[in-house]
Chain A
Amino acid sequence: MSITVSQINKRFGSFAALDDVSLEFPSGELVALLGPSGCGKTTLLRIIAGLEQADSGDVSLDGVDAAGMHVRERAVGFVFQHYALFRHMSVFDNVAFGLRVKNRDQRPSETEIRRKVTDLLTLVQLDWLADRYPSQLSGGQRQRIALARALAVEPKVLLLDEPFGALDAKVRKELRRWLRQLHDELHITSIFVTHDQEEALEVADRVVLMDHGRIEQIGTPDEVYDHPASPFVYGFLGSVNLFHGRVDGQSLRVGEHAIDLPSHDLANDAAAVGYVRPHELQLLPDDGKTQGGLPARVLRITSSGALASVELSRGEGEGEHLEVTVFRDTLRQLGVKEGDRVRLKPQRVQVFSAESAAPLLAA
């Protein structure tokens, strides 16, 4: 089922949770609503489910206006951050709930229900827990049961509100792979809300980035990561190094140095900020032979696994802090140590005007 929301507005008191949001969710896709807390992503999800009313704007499900549709008529499955399992019911009864509360003429027989619930529990690989109670399960198990319960009523849309937010890192990673697999099997239109950019980029077909109740960018994970549309998106999708300077033709003047820029539409001599990801800064030893690049001094090297993160300072004393990520092997070959002078060559730069970058810098 496709979902269209158009010109949705929602305020809580003086706080604008959603500000004129229009979006389309094509059928069968897994879409992530990504943004910092308070950006309105959960509110949007709850409005689509019908758990919250928009102040203005329309939601249509499969082209049908949902305004007059009650939550229970919308055929959505909803998965809550804190599972919301019925604590006094066994796992089996939890999953069977949606089938048992159907009207008599639509309700499957008890044997049919039993078969279906067992199938679903097998699907989420927890059929051996049917007689347990929610309090006896781990967080990851509870969320899988919650998912089975949501799927039991054969929803046309699956809405997941920070489904892995309450789980620890390892389980979270496992479960999101598993969710992706499940989606590939079922192809049910799914929207999931998250504030974890790694999770969104890894799981989703498309990512919708939100901030302050507005949509910042929509695209595939590669698109939004490689071509962020705004300084906010750049900063939110992983760490980034900033170079403040002035535009000078096809380069950015940073002090007495210059960085080559790709095509841009900024005026000459305009104040601008260059954005470079830590792995897109090339690290070269400053042995006098190296030409170009920006001089910097290595402050600290921390390594985790195959990668090393190099913390640098530009200019003398404290200066501006920069971060470069390189393979540890590369670092060893270069022979760079803490305290060394190096030169940095940006491999890929995106430039934004200083005004558009300002709100991000203030935050």
Chain B
Amino acid sequence: MAATIAHGWFSATDTNRRKIATSEPFWVRALLIALAVSFFGLFLLLPLGVVFAEAFKKGWAGYAAGVLNDDALSAIKLTLLVAAIAVPLHLVFGVAAAWAIAKFDFRGKQLLLSLIDLPFSVSPVVSGLIYVLLFGTQGWFGPLLADSNIKILFAVPGIVLATIFVTFPFVARELIPLMQAQGCDEEEAAVVLGASGWTIFRQVTLPNIKWGLLYGVILCNARAMGEFGAVSVVSGHIRGRTNTMPLQVEILYNEYNFAAAFAVASLLALLALVTLGIKRFVEWRLAASGKQQAFIERGQS
């Protein structure tokens, strides 16, 4: 109440004066804006434009040829397959981990938190190497796998494993602070009212975290599809079999097949733009529910 009155007081008398008091001369503003815009254009818009320009250099036909050949299509399929396995897994794991960490107290909670963060702090190349050391012919399980004729390294399972590793933290990291902030009150209220664990999760917890969850899934998906380093180490780069889209782009580029390389790259760029669009929307929803939350808290104090 006091704040509103004070604010009204200032805005009535001092708006114009304050505008002058807090702004810079025209040329400083112009310079700063020009600097920011040219930086933005040079490092973001230009590269993005180049990707699409190069992709369409040989026209629609060239673009189609780059995207619709067998190797490219199999790379797209593999990328989608990897994401289709990794993302749902993290959806389940992320919710479970966040639930456990935010709503319960147990020994080793801090350790679990640090472990979830590990893939963020390790270079993707090292993440890939871990799997080479585990499953390679010289690795710990190499001989065992060779004997039973299971291929992990330089095959699809290796790519899936490496992707799962690098995308580990996204969903859980997004949910933990959100669930911690929400506390356990609503869940406790629900259990006292006779709801079963599954009902509580479905009707109370999930609706409260859905936007945060979607946000985490989007980030996780973007990374799963775009991951290069870790996947590159374990893939073996076998055309038409173990190449994901980022790896396919690299191979084509190294073969001076620029139009095809940029065509595949443009798909990834497109994916990024769509992701960004959805992310903006979800952030807006999150902010809306956050505002509602803030309103509730204000009401309580």
Contact = CB atoms under 8 A, between A and B. Distances in A.
A49 interface: yes
A82 B194 contact: no
Contact of B299 (A51, A102, A139): A139
Interface string A97-108: 110011000000
Nearest to A71: B191
Nearest to B296: A135
By DSSP majority rule, is chain B's interface helix, strand, loop, or mixed?
helix
B191 to A, nearest CB: 5
A146 B292 CA distance: 18
Contacts of A149: 189, 193
Contacts, number: 76
A51 B295 contact: no
A84 B188 contact: yes
Contacts of B189: 78, 80, 84-86, 146, 149
A85 B296 CA distance: 10
B204 interface: yes
Nearest to B299: A139
Contact of B191 (A72, A85, A150): A72
A153 interface: yes
A166 B301 contact: yes
Contacts of B70: none
Contacts of A87: 186, 208, 292-293, 296
B195 interface: yes
From B189, B193, B203, name the one whose CB has the most chain A CB atoms within 10 angstroms. Answer: B193
B193 A101 contact: yes
B188 A153 contact: no
B196 to A, nearest CB: 7
Contacts of A86: 186, 189-190, 203-204
Nearest to B197: A72
Interface size class of A (residues with CB under 8 A): 20 to 34
Contacts of A146: 189
B199 A71 contact: no
Interface string A67-86: 00001100011101011111
Nearest to A138: B299
Interface residues of B, number: 23
B295 A88 contact: no
A74 to B, nearest CB: 8
Given A87-B208, A88-B208, A139-B300, A71 B192 contact: yes
B185 interface: yes
A36 B181 CA distance: 26
B8 interface: no
Interface string A141-162: 0100010011011000000000
A153 B193 contact: yes
Nearest to A139: B299
A346 interface: no
A137 B292 CA distance: 12
A166 B193 contact: no
B180 to A, nearest CB: 15
B193 to A, nearest CB: 4
A152 B195 CA distance: 13
B204 A49 contact: no
A331 B301 CA distance: 39
Contact of A97 (B195, B196, B207, B293): B195
A22 B171 CA distance: 46
A300 to B, nearest CB: 28
B185 A84 contact: yes
A101 B188 contact: no
B45 to A, nearest CB: 39
A83 B189 CA distance: 9
Given A51-B188, A84-B185, A87-B208, A98 B296 contact: no
Contacts of B295: 135
A76 B188 CA distance: 12
Contacts of B207: 88
Contacts of B188: 51, 78, 80, 84
Nearest to A80: B185
A134 interface: yes
A156 B299 CA distance: 31
A51 B199 CA distance: 17
From A78, A80, A135, A153, name the one whose CB has the most chain B CB atoms within 10 angstroms. Answer: A135
Contacts of A135: 292, 295-296, 299
B195 A72 contact: yes
Nearest to B199: A101
A265 B78 CA distance: 90
A287 B291 CA distance: 66
Nearest to A76: B192
A142 B186 CA distance: 13
A331 B295 CA distance: 48
Interface string B274-301: 0000000000000000001101100111
13 contacts: A86-B186, A87-B293, A88-B207, A97-B203, A101-B190, A101-B195, A101-B196, A101-B203, A137-B299, A142-B299, A146-B189, A150-B192, A153-B193
Shortest beta-carbon contacts, A-B, top 5: A98-B193, A84-B185, A84-B189, A101-B195, A72-B194
Given A85-B189, A101-B193, 5 more contacts: A51-B191, A88-B208, A102-B194, A149-B189, A153-B194
Interface of A: 49, 51, 71-72, 76-78, 80, 82-88, 97-98, 101-102, 134-135, 137-139, 142, 146, 149-150, 152-153, 166
